[in-house]
Amino acid sequence: MKRLEEFRDLFVPWAGLAVGLVAAGIAHQFGSEGTFDDCATISPIPIIIACLIGIAATIFAALSSWRIVCDDKQGEARRVVAIISVGSGALFVFAMILPIIASLVLPPCFQ
């Protein structure tokens, strides 16, 4: 149990970056495959749901990193990593909004 707490303590500044990267990758892959590969049967609803789950996970992780930024007791290096993590989390959220827009705007089969 102590190792899990140590891992959590070390991972929190990196959470927005790591979780956001994985979530954006999954949302992008799901969105691009759903929008372009199976155009006759795909609905925008699964793409929107996948992207919203990724956005929620990224926001949760970025808020975890934000707590490190606001804590004065943390070291300077941890705070810098947390600032980068929060900023990249915001960028990943924007990247996950794009497949939502594409699924709603693009016609199903480009015909």
Residue 111 domain flag: no
What's residue 111's pLDDT? 41
Is 6 within a domain? Answer: no
Asked, for residue 110, whether it belongs to a domain, the answer is no
Query: Domain span at residue 80?
Result: 12-105
Give long-range contacts, CB 8 A cutoff, 24+ apart: 46-49.
47/99, 47/100, 47/103, 48/100, 48/103, 48/104
Regions of the chain short of the pLDDT cut 50: 111
Is residue 7 situated within a structural domain?
A: no
pTM attached to this predicted model: 0.84
Count of domains for the chain:
1
Domain presence at residue 20: yes
Q: What is the pLDDT of residues 5-18, one digit of tens each?
A: 888 888 888 999 99
Q: Can you tell me the distance from the alpha carbon of 48 to that of 13, in angstroms, rounded to the nearest whole number?
A: 28
57 lies in a domain? Answer: yes
